[in-house]
């Protein structure tokens, strides 16, 4: 009897502990948005830039003195900093000896700097922009009755909003541009010989030409065409060896030796992707042409370095694009074959994305 009671007590203790852990995890997931909002606050207040500018740990009053405000509220700032320290964005030496608390930079905070070659600050501001957050509230409604979360939330699709809203267009373009040096560094490190036989390269959906600029810098023999919607290329800066061309990839793509697309096909459904790929097929030489894609390939167990971000991005595509999605290798194979590219290889790179190199024969 005693052994049964002990076993029962042990089982109940295990069950209680499991329920407690489960409760804690749901609380954490429930308030995941608080991390995003704290990061947004840090970027908007330029907290990483301020601390970095001092070159050493600094006090709250020193940080506050450089915030763009006549009377920054230091008690509020202290609470924001406490959260950011807890998340590892900044360091804090909290002393009980009446010494002033000092805050320092970390490897994470460098990604929030505004004027840095590698930064995710513009992407953070884009993803937390009100029109970008609103569609997430419509996921369940779309599961019930279909439709586009973005259109339900904003009355139009994202590309339409960008074409009519200059502020959002700028924020979105800045977000795309900030990822270019990050991803292109990883891309070029693993694709050193990929451009050897290419004289003319077209970047379809190239935004303001940031990715092409990196490619041309590493491969000076290449002349490049940055191809995107007219309102996008209208804001593109002049870049050496890069021509900006406005147009519609669903109608025609400029002729070139190869087509490059970074984070483009995930914005579209299978039918649209096949149409784009068929236009790519028409734009390149029959024997020597190829398509170079930089996109996510969903892994069965996630990415070792980036965890579950592949499926998080899939939900992001669901929220922001009418039929956009991330794809498994099988799904990539399907649209590539239908688009006229039966042969392909996947090259892994030190990034969230992979290289998918596809050929027409």
Strands 242-246 and 354-359 turn out to be unpaired
Select 120-359's CATH number: 3.30.565.10, 3.20.20.150, 3.40.50.150, 3.40.50.720: 3.40.50.150
Mean pLDDT of the chain: 93
Cβ-based neighbour number of residue 207 at 10 Å:
26
DSSP string, 12-67: HHHHHHHHHHHHHHHHHHHTTHHHHHHHHHHHHTTHHHHHHHHTS-B-HHHHHHTS
DSSP 215: H
Extract the tokens encoding 263: 């984070």
User: Which residues contact residue 297 at a Cβ distance below 8 angstroms, ignoring those fewer than 6 apart?
Assistant: 310, 327, 328, 329, 332, 346, 354, 356
Contact 120, 111 (CB under 8 A): yes
d(CA 311, CA 317): 10
Contact 113, 48 (CB under 8 A): yes
Token look-up 């579209």 returns 268
Chain centre to alpha carbon of residue 283 = 28
Reading the chain (361 residues) residue by residue, the pLDDT tens digits are 677 777 788 888 999 999 999 999 999 999 999 999 999 999 999 999 999 999 999 999 999 999 999 999 999 999 999 999 999 999 999 765 657 899 999 999 999 999 898 999 999 999 999 999 999 999 999 999 999 999 999 999 998 999 899 999 999 989 988 888 888 999 999 998 999 999 999 999 998 898 899 899 999 999 999 999 998 899 899 998 899 999 999 999 999 999 999 999 999 999 999 999 999 999 999 889 999 999 999 988 876 688 899 999 999 999 999 899 999 999 999 999 999 999 999 999 999 999 999 999 8
d(CA 184, CA 210): 9
Q: What is the pLDDT of residue 150?
A: 97
d(CA 352, CA 307): 9
Q: What is the pLDDT of residue 98?
A: 57
Listed residue (175, 200, 196, 205) closest to 279, CA to CA: 205
Q: What is the pLDDT of residue 1?
A: 65
Kindly report, residue by residue over 109-132, the tens digit of the pLDDT: 999 999 898 999 999 999 999 999
Question: Is the four-CA dihedral 298, 301, 307, 309 of positive or negative sign?
Answer: positive
Kindly report, residue by residue over 262-310, the tens digit of the pLDDT: 999 999 999 999 999 999 999 999 889 999 999 999 988 876 688 899 9
Q: What is the pLDDT of residue 102?
A: 96
d(CA 118, CA 241): 23
d(CA 342, CA 359): 7
Query: Which residue numbers are catalytic?
Result: 266
Q: What is the pLDDT of residue 95?
A: 62
3-state secondary structure (DSSP) of residue 204: strand
Residue 121 vs residues 8, 39, 128, 171, 284: alpha-carbon distances, Å: 53, 9, 11, 11, 36
Cβ-based neighbour number of residue 348 at 10 Å:
13
Token look-up 């500018």 returns 53
d(CA 360, CA 337): 9
Q: What is the pLDDT of residue 66?
A: 97
DSSP 257: S
Percent of the chain topping pLDDT 90: 81
Q: What is the pLDDT of residue 10?
A: 84
In the chain the first and final C-alpha atoms are separated, in Å, by: 75
- Look up the CATH number of domain 1-111: 1.10.10.10
Sequence spans of domains, the chain: 1-111, 120-359
Extract the tokens encoding 116: 């840095």
Extract the tokens encoding 119: 């930064």
Residue 158 vs residues 53, 132, 142, 233, 345: alpha-carbon distances, Å: 36, 9, 16, 17, 31
d(CA 143, CA 3): 50
């Amino acid at each position: 009897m005693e052994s049964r009671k002990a076993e029962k007590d042990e089982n109940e203790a295990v069950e209680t502990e499991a329920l407690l852990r489960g409760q804690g995890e749901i609380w954490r997931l429930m308030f995941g948005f608080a991390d995003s909002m704290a990061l947004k606050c840090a970027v908007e207040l330029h907290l990483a830039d301020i601390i970095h500018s001092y070159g050493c740990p600094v006090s709250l009053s020193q940080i506050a003195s450089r915030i763009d405000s006549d009377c920054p509220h230091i008690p509020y700032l202290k609470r924001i900093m406490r959260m950011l320290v807890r998340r590892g964005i900044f360091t804090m030496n909290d002393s009980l000896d009446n010494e002033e608390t000092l805050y320092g930079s970390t490897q994470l905070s460098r990604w929030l700097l505004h004027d840095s070659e590698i930064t995710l600050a513009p992407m953070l501001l884009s993803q937390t922009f009100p029109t970008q957050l609103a569609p997430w509230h419509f996921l369940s409604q779309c599961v019930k009755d279909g439709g586009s979360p973005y259109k339900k939330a904003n009355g139009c699709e994202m590309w339409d909003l960008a074409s009519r809203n200059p502020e959002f267009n700028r924020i979105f373009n800045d977000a795309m541009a900030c990822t270019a040096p990050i991803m292109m560094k990883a891309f070029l490190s693993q694709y050193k010989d990929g451009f050897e036989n290419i004289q003319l390269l077209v970047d379809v959906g190239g935004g303001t030409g940031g990715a092409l600029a990196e490619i041309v810098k590493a491969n000076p023999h290449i002349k490049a065409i940055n191809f995107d919607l007219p309102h996008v290329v209208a804001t593109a800066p002049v870049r050496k060896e890069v021509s900006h061309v406005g147009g519609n990839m669903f109608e025609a793509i400029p002729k070139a030796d190869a087509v490059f697309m970074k984070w483009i096909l995930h914005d579209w459904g299978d039918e649209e992707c096949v149409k784009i790929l068929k236009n790519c097929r028409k734009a390149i030489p029959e024997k020597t042409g190829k398509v170079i894609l930089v996109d996510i390939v969903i892994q069965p167990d996630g990415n070792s370095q980036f965890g579950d971000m592949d499926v998080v991005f899939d939900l992001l595509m669901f929220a922001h694009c009418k039929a956009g999605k991330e794809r498994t290798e099988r799904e990539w194979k399907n649209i590539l074959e239908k688009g006229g590219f039966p042969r392909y290889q996947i090259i892994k790179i030190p990034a969230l994305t992979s290289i998918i190199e596809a050929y027409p024969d």
